[in-house]
A and B are shown apart, each in its own frame.
Chain A
Amino acid sequence: MSGPDAHGEHTQAPLTVAVISPGMVGGQVAHEAGRSVGEVANVERLHFLDELVALVDGPEAERIGDVAVIFATDEVGRLDDVATVLAGHHALATARLALLTERTALTGIGHAFDTDLVREVIAVPWRPGAIESRAAAQLRRWMRDNRPGDVRRRLLGAGRSATLTHAPLIESLSHSTDRLTEEFIDACEKVLGPRPRLQLPAGVRLTHQGQPVDAVGVVLSGSVALTRDTPVGEVILHHATTGRIVGLVSLAERGKAFVTATTTTDVELILLSIEQLDRALKENPVTEQILAALLISSLTKRLARSEILQVEKIELAAAVEAQRVATQEALDALEQARLELLAQERFATLGELAAGVAHELNNPVSALERANDHLRADLMTIMSTHPQGPLIRESVMAALSRSAVSTRDERAARRALEKVVGDRELARRLVSLGMDADTPHEEVRALVADPARLEVALAAASIGREERNVRTATERVRRLVSSLSTYVRPEGEMEQEVDVREVLEDSLRLTAHRLRGVEIERDYDDVPTVPGRAGELAQVWTNILSNAADALTGAVKEAEAQGREFHPEVSVRVASEAAGVRVDVVDNGPGIAPETLPRIFEPRFTTNHGKVRFGLGLGMGLAKSVVDAHDGTIDVDSRPGRTRVRVVLPTNRRPAP
């Protein structure tokens, strides 16, 4: 037949339909295929797949062009292997395969399906002429997908063959729902006579969940929602996708309504009882087709909706999970905040306690100090009348003003004097009088020769020494009390002018017990005061120094265990910088682990047995919040052997809000 190819579409690239079969069947197939597609494509009759490959790779490749359709009997080989071979050759890669087989079951074709290779299975023997129509149809589809611009497709047009007319059901499926509804009502009315149209307002229940359904409603206009009562309330299953026939699914379920159908707008519908529907279906066969088409289209819509819902459900579940994780994180943060508050509260309680103790200590300390002074005054009064007065006074004053001597020096002095007096115990007592190797031997011997005088001198020296010790001890307590008072100075006085160096000294005093044996180097520039709260600032350095002490204690122990020498050192530097005061506390400890460093300011506690530890972490967290409140900065720079905590406080703070 001559098609409308008068415009020279022969120039279109060549196409080939291949027929592969080692037996007689191949000739037959080629013959039938040639009849239907010969005008458009070469039909190549081959015996084995290899020949096809040779053809597209060989000198005739140009004539062959693209292989569009392959008819092959199942001798062609394992289909999965065939698929692999085809995929490897450009000219074959898009080919469609129609498989001819005498067998009743086929296996080993998974990959061939997966790669869209197998499009049709034709049973052998076939109805004469069947190959003709199959070849045309397959080639037409191939061209639709791969050569949409090729007008030769029309030569394979649907109108050329009666086999392209669809069955009534397939035909009906292409109709719109409205048309199907009309057709269905027409079909029913042919049997049942005109059906009254029921006009219903919104909110009418057409079916009740769980109740028997004895009739179906055909909705002509308006909307119906399908809902279902569930443990979490009424759920709308379908609204826009409800479809035109209400109740038929329930009929299939043997009578009980699965859902409640409720009108949501004014609805026009006709009602058909089961008996009426049954009669219409029996007496007018067309009704069945249309009902089937109507149902399929309605259920397809509902199914698509359900599938979308399923996807949405999974997405929602993922969102809920993400939300849950976020909530958990928020809860954790909250718990951290609570612990921090708890710790701060304990800190505040400790502070109050310390303030109380410091205050209470002032009285006994003052009493001690006064009593010591009075004792001395009284002693001096007695001395003035005592026959040995001058000796006693001299001994007391000497012992009082003599600074404490190291035990080493004492022993050295004792050994020297032992050589002079020949008695170790006596030498020891002379040392307590301040005598040593430099004391003229005559003086030593003179005193030893007068035991009464010696005893008085010893007792007087002892008095002097005790007095000195009392004074030293009292002074230490007094300074501690004063430092404690700084530490716990009440909040609120943010605008005090604070001398950072004094605060540092207080902090050093309060942490002295932890820094025993640590060499402290001070380097204080003359710096201006900063506005702030001395008590809070004291906490900052108390924490920093405590951490340094912890680190150094650990380092000392480790060095000892390894038999190494280690001299723990802390240097404290105060310097001016632009618009601020900078304080560096540097220790020569092992440093903070790199993984810990970024978290050092987090309020982190060892919650051993629920106890809050005032060690690293918490202390630094508090320090940071104090420095922040002073508009300052705090940072830590650490490597093994050198950890520096730098605090910078502005000398001019913006006014507190």
Chain B
Amino acid sequence: MKLTILVVDDEPEVRDAVVGDLLPFADVVRVEPAEDVEDAWEVVQEVEADGDVVALVLADHRMPGTTGVDMLIAMEGDERTADARKVLVTGQADQADTIRAVNEAGLDHYVAKPWRPEEMQAVVREQLTDFVVGTGLDPLPHLRAIDGARAMEMLR
């Protein structure tokens, strides 16, 4: 069973950039890009069918038809994704949207575009660790993607 990071962004270059920055996790974590909300749900479906789990959603704020916030809210309400950590990656989100995301989508973090890779990786590591700790998963298979010290703490 693999932790899956779902990257939702409608711009291919940005998606590529995020996926590229997640390469250090690629060995142990499944990274799934999706170009819109509908596509994201297909990925969720597929991940579940493969026996994996969506651990983290990195969503662009602005997307056709809906906002990343709205999608995260929907995912908060779906049992397949309710536990997943939710991070908004955004070039522009007004305060109201951010507040809504925190209150309703259980937003866990907020990454502003443009981001620096180390920052993105730190955020992802932190969130994946939170996910593992929060869901009580066995941390051992995911050690390379999570904060080892915190994971070991959990094992004691």
Contact = CB atoms under 8 A, between A and B. Distances in A.
Contact of A556 (B16, B26, B65): B65
Contact of A406 (B20, B32, B35): B35
Interface in A378-414: 404-408, 410-411
Interface stretch (A131-139, A148-156, A466-474, A610-618): A466-474
A472 B11 CA distance: 11
Contacts of A307: none
Interface in B41-56: 42-43, 46, 50
Given A407-B15, A407-B34, A410-B33, A466 B65 contact: no
A517 interface: yes
B62 A473 contact: no
Given A466-B20, A469-B17, A517 B65 contact: yes
Contact of B70 (A404, A424, A560): A560
A631 to B, nearest CB: 37
Contacts of A560: 66, 70
B16 A407 contact: no
B63 interface: yes
B24 interface: no
Band of interface residues on A? 20 to 34
Interface in A566-584: 568
Nearest to B27: A425
Given A516-B62, A517-B65, A560-B70, A408 B35 contact: yes
27 contacts: A404-B16, A406-B35, A406-B39, A407-B15, A407-B33, A407-B34, A407-B35, A407-B43, A408-B35, A408-B42, A411-B43, A411-B46, A465-B16, A466-B20, A469-B16, A472-B13, A473-B13, A516-B10, A516-B62, A516-B64, A517-B63, A517-B65, A518-B64, A556-B65, A556-B66, A560-B66, A568-B65
A560 B69 CA distance: 14
A469 B13 CA distance: 5
Contact of B39 (A405, A408, A517): A408
A408 B41 CA distance: 11
A654 interface: no
Contacts of B30: 424
Given A404-B16, A517-B66, A556-B66, 7 more contacts: A404-B12, A407-B15, A407-B35, A408-B35, A424-B30, A469-B13, A473-B13
4 nearest A-B pairs in the assembled complex, by CB-CB distance: A517-B64, A404-B12, A469-B13, A517-B65
Contact residues of B: prevailing secondary structure: mixed
Given A406-B35, A469-B17, A556-B66, A513 B92 contact: yes
Nearest to A465: B16
Interface of B: 10, 12-13, 15-17, 20, 26, 30, 32-35, 39, 42-43, 46, 50, 62-66, 70, 92
Contacts of B35: 406-408
A462 B92 CA distance: 28
Contacts of B20: 462, 466
Contacts, number: 49
Interface in A448-487: 462, 465-466, 469, 472-473
A152 B88 CA distance: 110
Contacts of A411: 32, 42-43, 46
Contacts of A408: 35, 39, 42
Contacts of A407: 15, 33-35, 39, 43
A471 to B, nearest CB: 10
Contacts of B39: 406-408
A469 B17 CA distance: 9
Contacts of A462: 20
Contacts of A556: 65-66
Nearest to A515: B64
Contacts of A405: 12
A536 B70 CA distance: 36
Contacts of A424: 30, 50
B114 to A, nearest CB: 10
A410 B34 CA distance: 10
Contacts of A425: 26
B134 to A, nearest CB: 26
A405 B33 CA distance: 11
Among B20, B43, B64, chain A packs the most CB atoms within 10 A around the CB of B64
Contacts of B64: 516-518
Interface string A349-390: 000000000000000000000000000000000000000000
Contacts of B42: 408, 411
Nearest to A471: B13
A29 B97 CA distance: 100
A516 B16 CA distance: 19
Among B35, B39, B63, chain A packs the most CB atoms within 10 A around the CB of B35
Contacts of A518: 64
Nearest to B40: A407
Interface string A413-451: 000000000001100000000000000000000000000
Contacts of A472: 13
A408 B62 CA distance: 20
Contacts of B50: 424
Nearest to B15: A407
A465 B66 CA distance: 28
B24 to A, nearest CB: 14
A517 B50 CA distance: 31
A556 B92 CA distance: 19
A503 to B, nearest CB: 24
A517 B42 CA distance: 19
B62 A513 contact: yes
Contacts of B10: 516
A466 B23 CA distance: 14
A512 to B, nearest CB: 10
A560 B73 CA distance: 13
Contacts of B15: 407
A411 B31 CA distance: 12
Nearest to A518: B64
